[in-house]
Every structure is written in structure tokens, then in C-alpha cells.
Structure 1
């Protein structure tokens, strides 16, 4: 399943707002259209929108290359700012934009055409890296699950949220390949139903056993002893180990702690934001009321009622059993160990 791909100077995005009823790719040649697609969730998931932004900067550079040298860099900076602000909570988006702008700066003296080519190479590299990263996360995470595991997941952290394979669903895929999955319980994930629309669709296509539940059923299944582990993705991980993820994740973590069920977060290390000290400093996106008052375009709430629509919540580090990354499993104390992982990575890269 490809949520996005690049072909002949255009970015193709699988329009996830139409799933599971219709598979349709948007062909985008203007970075502004990519910004709009990110905002309306045609492409979603922290890793996927990061790579989409990387390709969007290629589109921006292609357009700007027709201008003077000064205007070229002004337009590229303008595009970078617009992309980075498209969804404020997902740190992979800002990470990808910064990475691309560093690449552009390294090729500044070679001229716009060289910058365009370098940005395209880097975007392709990021896409390929993401798949390798997800497979490594899957291998580390699968080892944590018991045989015949009954796993609960929330939102969609699979191929559709990444460039292939998935983070939380990557763990589930790897565990299923090892014969360790008895059942996956997918929360519907209100208000936009990414669990019902996307996660179940992915798992059915993979032949992985899945049962859809309402968000409010999770606690009862735990109380009945029918959940062995909870695995979710992440949009940003603060330096102390607090995790921002789809709204409803915090509730699951509290329930899991009460029922003594392991609660795992699966995410690439690029989701770790050591510049954000703790969860309360993470900007939390609040979206339009109509996503709550309507379902599938049909109004379900009375006219005039107010609604709050937080896209994410923050799960405190003390409720997290471990964070599964491509570099290994990070156990508590999460803040201290995240710093050690980051330091080791810098040493390996010679930074």
C-alpha cells in the first residue's frame, strides 16, 4: 500500500478521506496543494506527512527555479514555512522541512537546478529510509508480544500513516508473520474514524484478524481480560518521554495502567523532539467543530451546539511501558534513556 509516490515531477497522494470506499490518488504539482492536502488529512500520519512535505519542497523548488536567484530562495523559504505550519503537532513535518532546507543550503552555490535535483534525491532517500525504519520497529516490537496476543490499537499507524509497513501496525505485522497475533482490536477513533476506516481496511487486506470496537469499549475488554497489550503510534515525543498522539490515547494509557496491561508507543526516532522538554509544551492542534457535529457529512448534533475538537492528547511518560524505535526499545526512565539513544546516534553519525 503506497500512501504516496513521486513520478515524473509530480507527487501522487492516496486520498485517505475517501477510504475505504474509494482508492483515488491526487496528482499534485504545486506545493500549496500539498499543504492543503495535509491540512484536510488526505495524507496523514507523522512519517507520511513528513515525506510528503519533503517532496512538496521539490515542487516548490521546481516552480521557483523559473525566477531570479534571490526570488528562488525567498519562494523556497516561503514554501518551507507554509509546510512546517500545516499541522503543528507532528514533529516529523518540521523535521523533514529542516532536513530538506539543509540540503538546499549545501547546494546553494551550484544554482537552482542543482538544488532541485538534490531535494528530489533527499526526498526519495527519506521515503526509502522510512520503510527500513518501520521494519526495524516491527522486529523490535514483535519480540515484546506474547504468543496468541490480543492487541489493542488506536487511530491508524500503519502503511497509510507512513511510507509503507507502519509503526504500531508494523509491530503487529511482524508479530503476525511470527504467528503471535490472535486478534487485533481496533478502536474506531472518533471523530474521523481512522481506526474504523483505515486500520481495519489495512489489516483485512493483510489477512490479519481484526475486530472493530467503539472507543468506549476498550476499558470493558481490558476488564474482561481480553487485551494483552496496547500499541499506538506517536506524532511527537517530548524530551521527558511524554507522547502526543491521536486524541483518546491518554485515556487508553490510564486504562492500561489500571488493568496492568503493557502500553507501548511505536515511532521512529525522528518523532523524538529533544527541544520540547515535556508534553505540556507540545502544540496541540484543535480542528473545526464540524468534524464532531457531523459524521460522513451528515449532521448528528443539534444546530447551535458548541464542540471541542482536539486532534491529539498527551500521554505522560509514567504511563508508558516502553517506546519502540528503529534503534531499539527505550525503557523508563524514558527521558534519560531517550537522551542516551540520541547521544549514541550523534556519535555514530560523527556529529
Structure 2
């Protein structure tokens, strides 16, 4: 029999109770770790080390191995044995807008970070009857949904610890973590279902590395024309994320980075695209310009103006302002003719 979403939520709730109990026992390490990251007060669980700690506990509570496997809480060994999927990790629950625990995200014990054979730093629940990673966002619980409905500002970050850091940057900010997956149309639809204008208030604060640049372009392609005119992107230094700023004692600066210094997403998308081209030569600059102009078809006049000004600055060494304007106007005219 297929495990239902309700049963997955039930087993997740039991697992969370068990991990929360472990986080309060002598010798636990999650409290000290969170304090060292500037995240004191974050409610976390601790999955104990060992192959079979959670599994036998939940068996005694009436859950079957099939239910544990279907919930992503257990793994089956080659010899047929069933053991814990989350071992020696700080665990945080992923809740839905009804506050049900649909999955988990977990960070390995930092004591193992120096081990070249250490397991992946972060482990997230696999797809289950209750958890769809293409729609679920860490932090989008009942309270977050209510704040978004009242006009709160969604802030999109890479993972759970970044989201916990953003919580400390202002009550008007609603942090949402992607937890190891790319932004999807389903994620954005979750926000629109709460408030049709929510995505238009979004601030993207994903990492400024190559993957983060790709995320900016994916987000840009998923926005409506109106949303593209108002969504902003935080300016993070490469190799720095919101959790790093909080850990460094720069909590007050974090809000400035996220809100005060945020720029139109079209500028961030342009920079991410230009990074893939050789801008030292005219040919590379023109190829980049035409690529970007094509992506701007249908954009609002305000976005086209932002793009034109930003491209003129970025391509000043190789491309005349009039050439930039011509390409952008050509794209806009083409979009009008196609409509």
C-alpha cells in the first residue's frame, strides 16, 4: 500500500520530536554550533550518530519500514537492513503553510568538515508524497504566509541557515530557502497563491557564485513582465552569504545589503549573462548585447531603460551607446510586432 501524505507528515512529526529531544541532552552540539554562527535561538533538532537510532525508535511507535523509507527518513542497505537517512546532523523542519512538517533539511556535524570522506554538508528530504522540492520552500510556514499576505517582503536565499540569518534583519522580511534545488515556476506560484503581488516584492539573495548567477537568470525567465520591473537582487560579495554576515557580527549591515543596496533584477541578470562572454573584444560584446536584447523582448519601458543604462556602462570600452540603444529598441519593436 502506498504511504499517504498524511502518514508521511505523521512520521515526520514523530521524527522531529525525537530529534528535538536529542538536541536537549547532555553532549549535544547543535546549540553551540548555532551560537557560533550568530543564530542563537534557532529551534533545531539533532539526529544522533549511528546507523539505526531513529528507525527502531519509530518502529516502536507503530511506523513501518515502508513508511520510513517512503518518508525519506530511512535507507535500505544492500543486505536488506534499514537504517537512518539523517545521521549526526543538525536538523531543521520544512513546514507548509498549514504548519505541517513535510520534510527536513540537515547540516552535517561540523566536526567532520575536515574529513575528506565526510558525507555531503547538507542533506534534504527526497521527494515524498508530502514533499515536492519544486514547490516547497524552507520558511514558508503559516506565520510566513500570513506576513506575506500582509505585504511582507519575500527574500529568496540558498538554504536554511541563510534563511535563519535573514530572520534577524527585520520583521518585514520573510526569508525563504531553496534547500539545494533550483528556483521553479512552482516556487513562485506558491507565493502568488498567497498574494498575487508577492513575487513582485521579492528580493533575490542567492550566492554570488557561478551557480548563483545561473539562478538569477532562471528567476528572470520565470517572472511576469510586471514582476520583472520590481523584483530586486541583493549585492553579495562572491563567497559571502547572509549567514556569513551574521556570523561575522554584521547583522546590521545585512539589512543594508538585502534592502537598501538591492538593485533591479534586470541589472543582476545582465551581469550574470555578461560573465559568459569575452567583453574585451567587440565581437564578444555584440554577441552578449544581442543575447540580452533578445531576452528583453516584451519588457516594460522602465526595465528597458534600466537595461540600456546598465549595458552602456558595462560595455563602455567596446560598444557605443547608440549601438546599445539600437539593439534594445530593435528587441522592443520586434516584441510589439509579434504581439
Q: Which structure exhibits the higher relative contact order, with contacts defined as CA atoms closer than 8 Å and separated by 6 or more residues?
A: 1
By percentage of residues, which structure has more strand?
1
* Greater radius of gyration (CA): 2
Using the size of structure 1 for normalisation, the TM-score is: 0.25
Using the size of structure 2 for normalisation, the TM-score is: 0.26
